[in-house]
Chains A and B, each alone.
Chain A
Amino acid sequence: MSRREAPLNRVVMALSLVATATWLALPLASVAPNRIVPGTAHTATDLLGWPLALLACLPLVALMALSRRLDRVRCHLALALVLLLLMALPGWLAIASQWLVDPELPQARLGIGAAWWLSLFWLSLMLIELRSRLALVGWRAALLPVVVATAWWLQGAWLGSLALGQELDGRRGDFLEAVVDHLLLVGGAVGASLVLGALIALAMRQSPRVERLGFAVLNFLQTIPSLALFGLLLAPLAWLAARFDWLSAIGVSGIGWAPAFLALLGYSLLPMVRNTHVALSEVDPGVLEAARGMGMGRGQVFRQVRLPLALPVVIEGVRITTVQAIGLTAVAALIGAGGLGSFIFQGLGQAAMDLVLLGALPILAMALVADALLGALARRLDHRRLASPGGAP
């Protein structure tokens, strides 16, 4: 084993310094007597008092010390510290709600302050950095966010006066319905675009003219602002629904899910077709030649060679499309398609920022989770391909 000194890790050092400064200087939480009035902000130091606030900084100081010579053991230690800090984050809000919120005022609510959000952000960056230093992949890497999420969920009971929770309490049923609507729209659009996209990509391989025309149309669709595409579908669909009874019978109308679904499908097609097309056309000709040389027929080559080689790139297309669709579905709330976007726009309309958060945070979480899961799937398939070259029998 080499006795080389492990170098200073500037990233962890810088992030711990910034996190400490954020924690001490910015407001941790705010208290408002009711929903509309802006709250009064409290920093960690005037909430906990200087001794306790400084004590809470100790793990960050320990991280700075560890980062001075970050070898493998210290890296594990640092990871454990960051995990603990992340898991404890809701605890500070629970303490704040114990000390700040007057139990006599049922309307009083606790807002989450900038120091809390930024601490979450810096700690997440540290987690990412340490994870890649330790080269954690697969289930080990996936375990980290799951552990944090579980810890947060367990602390949920003490966060009753959190404004976010109060907004949720009033509309638990609506919230679940919105989540389901959102996921259904995204799933439907991505699923339909996967099938349609594969068909279009296959048709493009047959003729260069179809290829040029197809990409021209899809590129054009992508340049229309999402807001406008939703809007432009209102009138034609309303006209069609008025014209054909069976269309309105299955729920098609100018507003609602139908224009949202069509617009999402239109946007999803370009990344899907592009990736499927690239995936199918960029298979090494040598590999195909070898497969044919082994006596495989056309269909066999497609199923056993082309498809497995193309799959990671296609999944990458699904990832891009899904993340994009999750965001676009939020905009679709403007044309009455439901989903989590409706909370955002309702909240904006009522200037109730906690309601906005109730819509925006799950959308953000969904996008990150979808990105992580599909990214992991693509890497896994790719890995398998590399592990067994020419794995077809």
Chain B
Amino acid sequence: MSGRQVNAWAAPLLWLSLLLLLALGGDWLEPLLRWSEPDARRVLYPQADLLTLLVRHVQVVAIASGLAVVIGVGAAILVTRPGGRDFLPLVAQFASMGQTFPPVAVLALAVPVLGFGTWPIIVALLLYGLLPIVRNTLAGLEGVDPAVQEAARGMGMGGAQRLWQVELPLAAPVILAGIRTSVTVNIATAALGATVGASNLGAPIIAGIVNNNTAYILQGALMIGLLALVVDSVFARLLPARQ
């Protein structure tokens, strides 16, 4: 039994250990990176920084995605209640508009209001990540079989009870799939924050572009890719039934 459980967590653990290896790897990574950039003076992005940047990257994505989940799921629940149904078309349209706004443009527009640093990228990610969550939550809640709803009502469940005990559990796989898409896309998009002074894994990439150092770019890109794989495989573990 436990053997199967270990197997199920193998993929997330593998990606996580590779990620930490890159963050903490130290000098023996140098020959590998040297191959990509033979002439540069240094190829190893300062290691102490890499770990800090990784943590900051995770923080930014966690805050933005956390807010997107609260707002997105909350809004979708509100507009599927009898009192909020009027707002359903508008919320659906707004969520799809949010995805139309290019993250760079939102980022740039947020800087005059919020200043340089971490907040503009959080706003941009929040707006960009809202659509998959709202869309999937709406689909999940609307997809609950009316007969099941009727049965719950027949058992004497009130509106709130039906939401917590029937609708949300049934819709959970679809909602989680939406959150998965949103978070994995945001992990990659968060790198853009480095252009407005947020310190995250985009910083080595920008440093690499500015200094013409491919090794730096590789380190940033690999760590972002591995982080996305870690998170994605954890979600895959949480969603075993989905094909």
CB distance from A240 to the nearest CB of B (A): 14
In the assembly, what is the distance between CA of A363 and CA of B103, in Å? 11
Expressed in whole angstroms, the Cα–Cα distance for A364 and B105 within the complex equals: 6
**Which residues from A are CB-within-8-Å of B11?**
none
Which residue among B104, B212, B214 has the maximum number of chain A CB atoms within 10 Å of its CB? B104
Q: Quick check: B90 and A224 within 8 Å, CB to CB?
A: no
Contact of B104 among A128, A132, A344 (CB under 8 A): A344
B209 contacts A234, CB within 8 Å?
A: yes
Q: Which segment, of A84-92, A149-157, A328-336, faces chain B?
A: A328-336
The verdict on A136 contacting chain B, using a C-beta distance below 8 Å, is: no
Residue A371 lies at the interface, judged by CB distance under 8 Å to chain B: yes
Contact count band on A: 35 or more
Q: Please name all residues of chain B whose beta carbon is closer than 8 Å to the beta carbon of A367 when the two chains form the complex.
A: 100-102, 105
Which of chain A's residues has its CB closest to B218's CB? A232
Q: Which residues of A contact B152 (CB under 8 A)?
A: none
The residues of B that contact A227 with a CB separation of less than 8 Å are: 191-192, 194-195, 202, 205-206, 209
Contacts of B209 in A (CB 8 A): 227, 230-231, 234, 334-335
Contact A223 B105 (CB under 8 A): no
Residues of chain B within 8 A (CB-CB) of A226 are: 188-189, 191-192
Q: Indicate whether A228 sits within 8 Å of B224 (C-beta atoms), given known contacts A223-B188, A368-B100.
A: yes
Q: Which residue of A lies closest to B104 (CB)?
A: A330
Q: Is B165 an interface residue (CB 8 A)?
A: no
Total contacting residues, chain B, CB less than 8 A: 45
**Bound state CA distance, A341 and B102, in angstroms?**
11
Q: How far does the Cβ of B127 sit from chain A's closest Cβ, in whole Å?
A: 12
Q: Which of A231, A344, A360 contacts B214 (CB 8 A)?
A: A231
Assuming A223-B228, A225-B188, A348-B196, is B205 touching A331 (CB within 8 A)? no
Q: Is A356 an interface residue (CB 8 A)?
A: yes
Question: How many angstroms from the CA of A360 to the CA of B106 in the assembled complex?
Answer: 8
**Beta-carbon contacts under 8 Å, B66-108 to A:** 86-87, 89-90, 93-94, 97, 99-105, 108
CB proximity of B173 to chain A, nearest CB, Å: 21
Q: Write 19 A-B pairs (CB below 8 A) sorted by A numbering.
A: A129-B89, A132-B93, A223-B184, A223-B188, A228-B191, A230-B209, A231-B221, A235-B214, A326-B102, A327-B105, A331-B104, A334-B209, A344-B108, A347-B108, A348-B111, A359-B108, A360-B104, A363-B102, A368-B100
